[in-house]
Chain A
């Protein structure tokens, strides 16, 4: 084990980690937003709209992330979409994550009884107010765990971005391994970074879960 390797390659690994975190956060928040939009559209559209959304969900869920990235990054220029690797990575993440997030949100919508929607409409609430004040607070209780779960899955999917030359953590690690002919040290560092990310996400998930379920633990006066 040569520790001075870490001093020499530390900055590269850290910048790779930064790009991993950037792609992960922007990509998964974007995916969450798009997924929420899809779930909302699904909730309020007719059978044709639903069929289209379902087709999108199935198509994205049925194909590997790597192929989606290849279509975006290598196939994109064929229809005038020129992306830098990091842009392609982030867009790919948004598209890849959106159907999974949409399904999680859809399950959340279904957990709210239809009677509440009807009652809220009778009170004269707009659809957006219903989502914001009635559906979301209840939905968050049941979807925080699956959301955290999927965020953790996405932390690991960032490794695939290295294949389209995004200079993220795995890419930098492979460079380090190739330049120094060491394999144990780079992969050890890599595992520690990913482990830290996963632990952080699950810690955050637990905190959010405690926050959204606080009404259940409140002592009755």
Chain B
């Protein structure tokens, strides 16, 4: 067996520049997932029965179907319906919609940790529901659920490798292309694994810092 470091060092710049797409897709996916997740969580807890049921259906569907299937469906079925999105946009929207289901459940858990007295006080003060969510519930819930949200972001970085299947030039796809040129799968995929690992380690480190900064778990 000849493990060639030269192949790695020669192709490393391409992998690193492809990693930017991985990071972009996963972070935008997380953003979509958080914003949509807040909406779904609000729907899940609403007074209207049909809204609650719709949110529950959304969550069970997006958590119950493999993401790869969702991605493929997004790419093949949407054009059927006449919606043509650029591939990258479709990828992070699809990843975001899946992540929204998970984020909504994380948020629901965090909201339970906020004492109901705050809601009652807001009601008594006549604060409208939108402001209640935007200024009181969501900021606290995001802080309480921060470790889980960071976890979700790390999952998204790994999951973004699935976008390679639909032809987006992110890290995994570029690794496949380089393998096709060099016939060195072991070296290239090892290097790719290391890059993913570094991204995730950085996110975990940043998350811990942010937790300490916001004092999660110290109250």
Q: Which residues of A contact B (CB under 8 A)?
A: 58-59, 62-68, 70-71, 74-76, 78-80, 156-160, 162-163, 170, 174, 177, 183-184, 187, 190-191, 194-195, 198
Chain B: CB-nearest residue to A191: B65
Q: Is the CB of B66 within 8 A of A170?
A: yes
Q: Is the CB of A194 within 8 A of B65?
A: yes
Give Cα distance in the complex from A100 to B185, angstroms: 26
A66 touches B67 (CB 8 A): no
Give the distance in Å from the alpha carbon of A62 to the alpha carbon of B158 in the complex.
8
**B-chain residues with CB within 8 Å of residue A198 when the two chains form the complex:** 64
Question: When the two chains form their complex, are residues B1 and A190 in contact, meaning their CB atoms are under 8 A apart?
Answer: no
Chain B interface mostly helix, strand, loop or mixed?
A: helix
List chain B positions with a Cβ less than 8 A from chain A: 1, 3, 64-69, 72-73, 76-77, 80, 154, 157-159, 161-162, 164-165, 172, 175-176, 179, 184-187, 189-190, 192-193, 196-197, 200-201
Which 10 residue pairs of A and B lie closest in terms of their CB atoms, listed nearest first?
Answer: A75-B186, A74-B185, A159-B66, A156-B66, A64-B161, A78-B186, A64-B158, A62-B197, A63-B193, A159-B68
The answer to whether A162 and B68 touch across the interface, beta carbons within 8 angstroms, is yes
Q: Report the minimal beta-carbon distance from B109 to chain A, rounded to whole angstroms.
A: 14
From DSSP, what is the main secondary structure of chain A's interface residues? helix
A-B contact pairs, 29 of them (CB 8 A): A58-B197, A59-B197, A64-B159, A64-B172, A67-B161, A67-B193, A68-B193, A70-B175, A70-B176, A71-B190, A71-B193, A74-B186, A75-B185, A75-B186, A75-B189, A76-B186, A78-B1, A78-B184, A80-B1, A156-B65, A156-B66, A158-B66, A159-B66, A159-B67, A159-B69, A160-B68, A194-B64, A194-B65, A195-B65
Residues of A within 8 A of B164 (CB): 66
Which residue on A lies nearest to B160, using beta carbons?
A64
Is A187 a contact partner of B64 (Cβ separation < 8 A)? no
Question: Across the two chains, which residue of chain A brings its CB closest to B199?
Answer: A62
Q: How far is the CA of A184 from the CA of B76 in the complex (A)?
A: 9
Interface contact A187-B73, CB-CB below 8 Å? yes
Q: How far is the CA of A79 from the CA of B65 in the complex (A)?
A: 36
Q: Report yes or no: A66 in contact with B161, Cβ–Cβ below 8 A.
A: yes
Distance of A156 Cα from B71 Cα, bound (Å) = 13
